[in-house]
Amino acid sequence: MTAPFTGPITRPITGAITGAEMHDLVRRLYPLCRSITGAGLRRTLEIIGESIPLEITQVPTGTRVLDWTIPREWNIRGASIKDAAGNKVVDFQDSSLHVVGYSVPVEATMSLEELRPHLHTLPGQPDLIPYRTSYYADTWGFCLSQNTLDGLADGPYEVKIDSTLADGHLTYGEHVIRGSSSQEVLISCHVCHPSLANDNLAGVAVAVALAQRLSDPWYTYRFIFAPGTIGAITWLALNRENTDRIRHGVTLACAGDSGAITYKRSRRGDAEIDQVFAHVLKDRPHTILDFSPYGYDERQYCSPGFNLAVGSLTRTPYGSYPEYHTSADNPDFVRPEAMEDTLETLWAAVQILEANRRYQNLSPYGEPQLGTRGLYGSLGGRSDTKQAQMAMLWVLNLSDGLHSLLDIAERSSLPFRAVADAAHALQNAGLVKERTG
């Protein structure tokens, strides 16, 4: 087996990006023809690397990764269907969705009847172009609107797909922010779809913005930008011995539509990441789904041999909005304010992960006197004095080394921030200590 090549893509780091700037990134990436391999995928990673430095790994064709094998690399230069007058009725240059992903090269003249089995449309959405792929079978095809198909004469048609399938590499990128702990939080995005803005580019833009916002964290944060399914499987295969470092994780996709946030639990169902998102979302419109082995790459990270605590964060889930996997999933469909909201939701979860600890009450026999330690007095004049006092009492009572601060927030129905502030004050007063191990 040939060893994968690993090398850096380093660019100057700018400030954290706004919703408008996230939208600009989506627009810039949108025209590229991405797939699970090839030049479009590598160019996508290069552009991401202008905002955050990426470590690039390239794994050669034929490499065995778990139960899979890295396929041949696919690249495409052009494709079209010309009518008898030489007019291009379908042109890859107009949309990268026009060609079925991984189509083998073809150059032929044929009638509409002969061509029709290779044409894909959406009869129920006649104005739209569908997204179709055929990664692991040698075939070819075009995607077009039903309206275009209905307007085609009998032919003949000159059909050409200028593509190559040859030995090459599968490529993925990683951005790692080292924290005080070697334990990791995983943020994973798929980067294999062609011109689809919500699925997957909005998730990519939100991940980039989160990476730019993080500074001096406690956890180490690992961002993975990889082709769907085969990319996550490849990363797991190459990092099998290190997956025990991953304490929490989330796949990020469909992050820019106007629907409410949806969180899908990890396979474990009660992992800390699942509890964190339930807490973050409880006071806003949302949907929480149980785990299922279908969807994005959470199903790879949550496969039984790894069973990592990785959930899925989207707005409207995959397959649940009419624009999904069609040409209507364009940059005008995703909203800057929706991406900002997704980012803030993710940021709220990160803040809880960073602060969620277990404490041990050092004066557990009866309630310690808080006034003599200046704890009640320090709260005078605060608008939330009663809440802060209650948070101290709850932290003291449940700091038995078993309950986390998030457990206490849920049990007490107090905001996590109030509970964390109380724990900090009590620790400074010598009444509690952080439980390690």
Q: Are strands 220-226 and 169-177 parallel, antiparallel or unpaired?
A: antiparallel
How far, in Å, CA of 429 to CA of 437, rounded?
A: 23
Read off the tokens for 408.
């206490």
How far, in Å, CA of 46 to CA of 53, rounded?
A: 9
Are 172 and 227 within 8 A, CB to CB? yes
Residue 375 burial (10 A CB sphere; 0-12, 13-18, 19+)? buried
CB-side exposure of 273: number of CA atoms within 13 Å? 27
Residue ranges at the known binding site for Zn(2+): 193, 199, 325
Phi, psi of 365 (to 5 degrees): -95, 95
Measured from the Cβ of residue 245, the count of other Cβ atoms closer than 10 Å reads 15
CB-side exposure of 66: number of CA atoms within 13 Å? 17
Residue ranges at the known binding site: 193, 199, 325
Using alpha carbons, select from 59, 49, 42, 43 the residue that is nearest to residue 8.
Answer: 49
How far, in Å, CA of 212 to CA of 343, rounded?
A: 11
CB-based contacts of 279, cutoff 8 Å, min separation 6: 352, 406, 409, 410, 416
How far, in Å, CA of 263 to CA of 50, rounded?
A: 30
The dihedral of CA 251, 189, 351, 361: what is its sign?
positive
Query: Which amino acid, residue 100?
Result: V
**Quick one: CA torsion of 263, 267, 271, 275, rounded to 10 degrees?**
20
Are 256 and 198 within 8 A, CB to CB? yes
